């Protein structure tokens, strides 16, 4: 599906359920990602879910769900320079990494 086709889907969802419902859905999807990350950490760090492919598959699915939500939120707030803010944050993050590497 192209980016333009996804935008049309977001428009249809907003018309059908309303923007507040879309915000709520994004919050729910982000919460589900948090749970999936925690389950994955237990698998990796503590071996609680030994070789359980379902844990990884669920994490990947939740990442995709949140990616859709981020794309939709960026569309809703397209009048704001989100990518510009992201660039500034990435430069700061990169500087923090460089600082840490230089101080070790």
Angle between helices 3-17 and 19-41 (to 10 degrees): 110
Distance CA 22, CA 93 (A): 30
Give the CA angle between residues 14, 5, 64 to the nearest 5°: 75
Of the chain, the end-to-end C-alpha distance in Å amounts to: 45
Give the CA angle between residues 67, 72, 75 to the nearest 5°: 130
- pTM of structure: 0.86
pLDDT tens digits, 9-60: 999 999 999 999 999 999 999 999 999 999 998 887 777 766 678 888 999 9
């Amino acid at each position: 599906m192209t980016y333009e086709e996804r935008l049309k889907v977001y428009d249809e969802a907003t018309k059908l359920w309303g923007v507040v419902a879309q915000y709520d859905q994004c919050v729910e999807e982000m919460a589900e990602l948090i749970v999936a990350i925690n389950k994955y950490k237990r698998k990796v760090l503590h071996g609680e879910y030994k070789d359980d492919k379902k844990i990884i598959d669920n994490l990947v699915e939740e990442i995709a769900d949140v990616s859709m939500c981020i794309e939709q939120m960026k569309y809703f707030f397209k009048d704001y320079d989100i990518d510009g803010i992201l660039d500034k944050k990435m430069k700061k993050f990169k500087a923090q990494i460089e600082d840490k590497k230089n101080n070790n």
